[in-house]
Amino acid sequence: MRGWGLKYYFRSITEELFQLHDKLRKQWPGLSRIAVAIYDNETDILHTFIKSSPDEELLNHYSVQLKDVPSLVELANSGECRIMQDLMVLQQNDSVHSKVISQHFKSSYTEPFYVAGDLLGFVFYDADECGYFTDELIDHLQTYSRLIESLIVSEILPIKTLVALMNVTQEITNLRDSETGKHLIRMAHYMELIAIELAEEYGFTDEQIEYIWCYAPLHDIGKIAISDSILLKPGRHTAEETKIMRTHVVEGLKMVDRMLQNFSFQQFHHIDILKDIIGSHHEWYDGSGYPNGLKGDEIPIVGRIAAVADVFDALISNRVYRAGWSFDEVVDYLKAGKGKQFDPKCVDALIRNEDKIKEINNNFQDIYNV
């Protein structure tokens, strides 16, 4: 994986899924694809997460609002499974997912799964023959589904718990900053956009992009440790105040380490993604950033992505004290910072998604009178 590096290598759920799929195909060779999509209730977005498929490019990095897929909404609400013995019926649907699946496979079986009564996602099985899903096969798949769902929950639930713990900590300490909940959602979307654009070059999988998405809102968690007199100061900071303000990066890393130790999360194979987002999103591409003065490719790629996403949203968004910049003004600022503050590839990856950016900004707006 170029650029991503062995630092982030782990035995992923994707690898586990491939092993399960291999075992299933020994008895049912027509079962050609297993895939899992994860649901985010706050945004109503369904993300591709893991898959075992003969075509690695099939529905890569795909996301859709659940409300736009009525058949899946029906499954989510009913909790029932769905068997489609002839996928030709999907060719009349408008969704990209339905059309792609009907072009590549002949029949399918789908199960929703939940945590504490809340929808967490769907498991999809696809076959290359019509009428393939017999009662015997479905009985077998339901057992495998429980195993797959357990693997997913063991990965995703601790992340959600960690994020919730951080959020509760913010609320308890009454952290009040320009970083609203909507800002954090937007930033996660922008990081996802950039990661998807760079996926081929850096070898990002859907699984890794999901972790980037989950961890993005915690980038500035260390600001909890900064006093309100500095954090909320409306004017420019003094040199000493700036020095204190910059300690939020190290404080954030300390908070993560304490959370990991106290709640036994050290085994997370993807925790370095979180640490790199927190620890390096204020590093500058030319080496003049903080806290470590890293330069160029010395900066973890997720930190370079976060730097662009964070500054973009900070500038384009309205604040209680000012109106946001126009899209063109922000783009000009990012372009001017290429090779200085920002990784040029990350800037280019974001700004070539103008339509998606504007959609995100419209869907998750803060309401201020400016």
Transcribe 251-302 into DSSP letters: HHHHHHHHHHHHTT-TT-TTHHHHHHHHHHTT--TTS--SSS---GGGS-HH
Can you tell me which residue has the tokens 């393939």?
132
Asked whether 73 and 67 are in contact (CB, 8 A), the reply is yes
Nearest to 204 by CA among 56, 353, 43: 56
d(C-alpha 46, C-alpha 68), whole Å: 10
Which of 106, 223, 275, 345 is an active site residue?
A: 223
Other beta carbons within 10 Å of 141: 21
The verdict on whether 223 is a catalytic residue reads yes
Q: What is the dihedral of CA 79, 142, 157, 189, to 10 degrees?
A: -70
* C-alpha 118 chain-centroid distance: 19
Phi, psi torsion values for 57, nearest 5 degrees? -90, -5
d(C-alpha 43, C-alpha 204), whole Å: 22
Phi, psi torsion values for 126, nearest 5 degrees? -125, 140
DSSP state of 342: B
Asked whether 283 and 277 are in contact (CB, 8 A), the reply is no
Nearest 5°: CA angle at 121, between 120 and 126? 160
Would you state the structure tokens that stand for residue 311, as one six-digit string? 């500054």
Active site residues: 223
